[in-house]
Structure 1
């Protein structure tokens, strides 16, 4: 009798996260998208060399492009095979998802920002967030709520 194989849980390997996304934006929805990359970019991502500093999604010709995300050049690649670190990268989304995101960003003043980049089954995926920018007042309220929650957790821990 053959042994049954264990089903392995496919856990995504995180490459990098956009720590500013939840602080600067109120995230309403999230979408997972593939990304079109060249070989040296994938090699660089395996080392975790990505920065989301000014990243956003731009829509052109019924396509979505990731703009402003810096993927560092891979140091073991030759001088002529090097990729441009700031180039717009095409996002692989369904046509319906692109139209929904495009319509929401045009009408409601929302923006689509990259939140996380990770490997899933050997492919690079990007978690996109549809969000509304926070103003200074709501940022302060979030910090205050976070401080209160931390203080109450400390108080509860001290009673135990």
Structure 2
């Protein structure tokens, strides 16, 4: 008897975003997916590194999120791996995002895609782009924290 494979919680991460942006607010959004996309995600063929989120007509969408189609799962459907997918958010959350975009000049960044029960969720952040000196400061802080950990480890 074959044991059913359970998918790990994390599907894809955008590690570059932590370096490029400083995060302000965090949101969890559902994604409107097609059947072949869910099968491909279960096989681990998703990438959100170059994706970005935009709002149009009071609805949120994610663009440039790459989900590579499987050959056996998508033989009868025309697949577009980078199609624009609708994000499922509450109206209040969309209004918060729109307020950050309009008034504060912020951007919306997709940072993580993961499973929550049987649903695929996308973690998005309202973020502000870092300047070059901000990036250097965060690198310096990270290195200092590593050195502190090493000193504490050796002294104990």
TM-score of the aligned structures, taking structure 1 as reference length: 0.87
- Structure 2 residue runs of 5 or longer lacking an equivalent are 1-7
Report the structure number with the largest CA radius of gyration.
1
1:75-129 deviations in whole A, cap 9, x for unaligned?
Answer: 2124441421111100001112112211211221111111111111201111111
1:20-64 deviations in whole A, cap 9, x for unaligned?
Answer: 121111011100111000001001111221112221111111111
SS in 1 for 2:81: coil
- Structure 1 residue runs of 5 or longer lacking an equivalent are 1-11
Match of 1:155 among 139, 151, 156: 151
Match of 1:25 in 2: 21
The aligned length equals 149
Once residues 158 and 82 of structure 1 are traced to their aligned partners in structure 2, the CA distance between those partners, rounded to angstroms, is 58
SS in 2 for 1:16: strand
Match of 1:96 in 2: 92
The answer to whether 1:75 aligns with 2:75 is no
Structure 1 outlier segments of 4+, above 4 Å: none
Match of 2:59 in 1: 63
The answer to whether 1:53 aligns with 2:49 is yes
The answer to whether 1:136 aligns with 2:136 is no
CA contact (8 A) 1:73 1:82 kept: no
Match of 2:5 in 1: none
Match of 2:37 in 1: 41
Match of 1:127 in 2: 123
Once residues 74 and 87 of structure 2 are traced to their aligned partners in structure 1, the CA distance between those partners, rounded to angstroms, is 26
* Residues 1:78 and 1:37: Cα distance change in structure 2 (over 3 Å): closer
Once residues 115 and 98 of structure 1 are traced to their aligned partners in structure 2, the CA distance between those partners, rounded to angstroms, is 17
